[in-house]
Amino acid sequence: MSLDPDRRAFLHRLLETPSPSGFETRGQRVWLDYVDEFADEVRTDDYGNAVAIHRGDPDVDTSFAVAGHADEIGFIVRRIDDDGYVRIGAIGGADRTVSKGQHVTVHGDDPVPGVVGQTAIHLRETGEESYDDIGEQYVDVGATDGDEARDLVSVGDPVTFSTTVEELHGSRVAARGLDNRIGVWAAAEALRRAAAADVDATVYAVSTIQEEVGLQGARMVGVDLSPDAVVAVDVTHATDSPGIPEKRRSPVELGEGPVVSRGSANHPVLVDLARTVADDADVDVQLQATGTHTGTDADAFYTASGGTPSLSLGLPNRYMHTPVEVIDETDLRDLGALLGAMAERADDLEDFAVDV
């Protein structure tokens, strides 16, 4: 069994709501409306980081945060040609190899559909083709000239792929923006489970902004909250599909459980807690080596407020930063169960310091 209908519906609402870096407010509203049903308090900061709180036993001094990032990669309108074509730039790590020939939406005052232009194969010089940089690509919104296009869109409008959610065979799901709607889904699920169990620790669920452009939201909220420990939930590469160079392969596979990272930002006490809780809860986990950095909000959280014990907890994901990312819902279900169990056990630890 994968997700129950209510949890799946919430995931789909998140995936169907565009939330490119710097323009996360619509996605944050979906998240806040959901967590408000079981949180003791919800709040946002001036840039749109969102926090939901379960206040535990007032005599227990432990605070535990679970964070995902709300933003997704995309594009931004750089200029509009006099002939009506919309020139774009990248938001975050947009992949220039998958953008041409795709349906997109320009998010102006009203959504404007468009396509990223691709010269027909009949008209191209084939054999020695290369990929145009994002800055050389353009969106065709159907305008006949620049004035008509400027009536529809403006410089600085964000652009996202128009794909949303496709249920694949079994428990597999394909969508744009699974990186990192699964993270904010998991943060909400951890809080829901903590509230239902009335755990003793104070638990924060956090939906950060602008991770894809430099972990900026985590830098803000990590100082503001200053929790005793934080788990940053994000996708990680499943390398079980064809075409991946051997030197890039890891042990991570779809359907084999959440991924506990070890090394760099990942605090040994939190690593041990995650693995122990997983064993006790009969949740399979996979291990991943991150010897230099995790590439997630954990890299910002762990140096906040003089050092905050942090863990990067991943969900296996194929085809990252494309319009067709793929996950297994059973991994996501188990990720939610693991986080809820970690929140219940957080106050068992006297402190998070390592033995030296």
Q: pLDDT of the chain along its 356 residues, tens only?
A: 588 999 999 999 999 999 999 999 999 999 999 999 999 999 999 999 999 999 999 999 999 999 999 999 999 999 999 999 999 999 999 999 999 999 999 999 999 999 999 999 998 888 878 899 999 999 999 999 999 999 999 999 999 999 999 999 999 999 999 999 999 999 999 999 999 999 999 999 999 999 999 999 999 999 889 999 999 999 999 999 999 999 899 999 999 999 999 999 999 999 999 999 999 999 999 999 999 999 999 999 999 988 999 999 999 999 999 999 999 999 999 999 999 999 999 888 767 788 88
pTM of the model: 0.96
Per DSSP, 181 falls in state H
- The separation between the first and the last C-alpha atoms of the chain, rounded to the nearest angstrom, is 43
Active site residues: 211
**The pLDDT of residue 347:** 83
**To which H or E segment does residue 340 belong?**
helix 329-345
Q: What local confidence, expressed as pLDDT, does residue 1 receive?
A: 58
Could you give all domains of the chain from N- to C-terminal order, each with its CATH number?
Answer: 5-72+176-348 (3.40.630.10), 74-161 (2.40.30.40)
Closest CA to 207 of 80, 106, 297: 297
Q: Is 334 annotated as a binding residue?
A: no
* Largest Cα–Cα separation, the chain: 72
Residue 23 neighbours by CB under 8 Å, 6+ apart: 107, 158
212 is in an annotated binding site: yes
Confirm whether residue 321 is marked as ligand binding. yes
Length of the chain equals 356
**β-pairing verdict for 229-237 and 202-208:** unpaired
